[in-house]
Structure 1
Amino acid sequence: MATDKTGAPTTVTAGEDTFTIAVDGQKVGLVAFVDHGGQRIFLHTEVKDEFEGRGLASILVSEALAATREAGLRIVAVCPMVADYLDRHRDFDDLVDPLTHDTKRFLQRLQGG
């Protein structure tokens, strides 16, 4: 179990299309994704305003990427937070795929566009 910058214990939980992070049992953030064709496409990351600056998004993204590796999936970072994390932590370079036209079309269909 990781702790945030204040020393508070955190818990990251995997769901069907999100990973959530909780502090002292309270859900305070999430990273949304969709799995497609052997890839996990990370769409959006958010942490409640009152919990910003505590390193929670980094803990959340780190755990989500580790779980993606364990699941044998490739990583596509649509979310700027995930892309930034990957730029700063090169240990996932072997799993990162670029955002392709096919992936963009898939996401447009998914969003009804």
Structure 2
Amino acid sequence: MAKTFQDKTGAEVAVDLSESTQSYQITVADGTVAGHAYFLPGPDAETERIFHHTVVDEEFGGRGLSKILVAEALEDSLEREITVVPVCPLFVKKLKETGDDYAAQGGKFRNATGADIDIVKRQA
């Protein structure tokens, strides 16, 4: 079920998990998908997700959508007890800034290993 948020312009956006695209997707009020935070199953496919690419379409730039996507992907991962493996620079940055708080709330994450990078490269 999609959660709703307000972007920097005050417009309503929604984020939901799309298993078919292996991503969290953000949609604007008219239902247009504006971006994705893509992940792959980690070495422990049941409990790990490697977040490797976040993209927001140019026409929706400047609205803070990527920050909403990253924050919601982390929140949902925490709720599902999934370990986050950040490869995407946006996830790396967010966890560098707030990783201690995330862990204090019960969130789990670990640095990417060579094996994780190999998983991403195989999918490219």
Same fold, judged at TM 0.5 (above): yes
Q: 2:102 aligns with which of 68, 92, 95?
A: 92
- What is the CA RMSD across the aligned residues, in angstroms? 1.6
Q: Structure 2 counterpart of 1:92, which letter?
A: Y
Aligned length: 111
1:59-82: CA deviations, max 9, x gaps? 111111111111111111110111
Note if 1:14 corresponds to 2:30.
Answer: no
The aligned counterpart of 1:26 is 32
Task: For residue 110 of structure 1, report the CA deviation from its aligned partner.
Answer: 4.1
What is the TM-score when the length of structure 2 is the normalising length?
0.80
Q: Structure 2 counterpart of 1:34, which letter?
A: L
Measured in 2, the distance between the counterparts of 1:5 and 1:107 equals: 31
What is the TM-score when the length of structure 1 is the normalising length?
0.87
Task: For residue 87 of structure 1, report the CA deviation from its aligned partner.
Answer: 2.1
- Consecutive unaligned residues of structure 1, counting only runs of 5 or more, are none
Task: Kindly report which structure 2 residues correspond to 1:74-113, keeping only aligned pairs within 5 A, or say none.
Answer: 74-90=83-99, 91-93=101-103, 94-111=107-124
